[in-house]
């Protein structure tokens, strides 16, 4: 079986580099030595394990992509870039018929989905690529569907901590708000407590120093109106390994959908989980 060609976009960003490193080490995949990068990146290449990855700035990508498509008959793009690039990148992928896995959070998500649905490609789009966390979200969605109003009157506190460079509020935390709302909690996304200060993360949260540059700690706390009962749900991730593994599973899943001729469909990590089983 031929390896799946993958173009990882967002290099030299931390997550993109880690994903690309795993692609290089996995016989199922072959890394396309190009990467879409941001306008602030001045370097023309990023060396990884002896391979120079050519970095393509936004103003050059429409021309260069034709050369890449001529060299690689087909490939799947992985996007770990910046929230501001979510919609322009998706439109670029769709315009050039490039199936993609979008792990970048932020942007206009309704417009993002509509862009793919109107295109001739499928895509996997998820605010969180960690399969276990996605499974937890699915359990919460089940509870919201089957036990609406279960926590009626309870107050909700959501706190999330990510590395200082993460620009937006956690997409996972925002998704959880909708489940808790359906479970009876009156809570808005704007009320999420977002921590990005390394000193606070280390000294108050207790996050290990070696993971201050890459972590995702979330806690959801529910308290009854009379303050006698508390429920707390926590998922703390140090490093990025869990997201990388989920992303590559999403690539496998998407490659299968492309092979089936699927077009104009948005898949989620729930679809990936179901497909894997």
Question: Catalytic residue positions?
Answer: 162, 166
Alpha carbon of residue 9 to chain centroid = 13
Between strands 215-223 and 230-238, the pairing is antiparallel
* Closest alpha carbon to 67 in 52, 56, 81: 56
* Spatial distance between the Cα atoms of 105 and 108, rounded to a whole number of angstroms: 10
Contacts of residue 71, defined as CB under 8 A and 6 or more positions apart, other chains included, come to: none
């Amino acid at each position: 079986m031929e390896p799946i060609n993958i173009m990882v976009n967002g290099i030299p960003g931390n997550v993109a580099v880690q994903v690309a490193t795993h692609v290089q080490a996995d016989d199922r995949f072959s890394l396309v030595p190009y990467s879409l990068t941001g306008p602030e990146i001045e370097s023309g290449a990023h060396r990884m394990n002896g391979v120079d990855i050519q970095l393509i700035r936004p103003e050059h990508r429409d021309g260069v992509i034709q050369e890449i498509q001529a060299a690689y008959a087909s490939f799947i793009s992985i996007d770990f870039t910046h929230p501001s690039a979510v919609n322009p990148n998706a439109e670029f992928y769709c315009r050039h018929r490039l199936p993609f896995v979008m792990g970048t959070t932020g942007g206009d998500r309704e417009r993002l989905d509509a862009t793919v649905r109107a295109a001739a490609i499928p895509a996997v789009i998820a605010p969180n690529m960690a399969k276990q966390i996605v499974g937890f979200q699915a359990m919460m969605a089940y509870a919201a569907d089957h036990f609406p109003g279960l926590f009626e009157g309870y107050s909700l506190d959501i706190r999330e901590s990510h590395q200082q460079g993460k620009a937006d509020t956690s997409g996972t935390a925002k998704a959880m708000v909708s489940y808790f709302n359906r479970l009876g909690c009156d809570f808005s996304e704007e009320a999420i407590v977002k921590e990005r200060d390394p000193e606070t993360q280390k000294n108050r949260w207790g996050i290990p120093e070696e993971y201050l540059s890459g972590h995702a700690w979330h806690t959801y706390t529910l308290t009854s109106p009379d303050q006698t009962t508390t429920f707390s749900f926590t998922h703390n991730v140090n490093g990025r390994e869990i997201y990388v593994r989920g992303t590559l599973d999403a690539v496998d899943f998407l490659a299968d959908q492309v092979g089936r001729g699927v077009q104009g469909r948005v898949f989620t990590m729930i679809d990936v989980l179901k497909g894997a089983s």
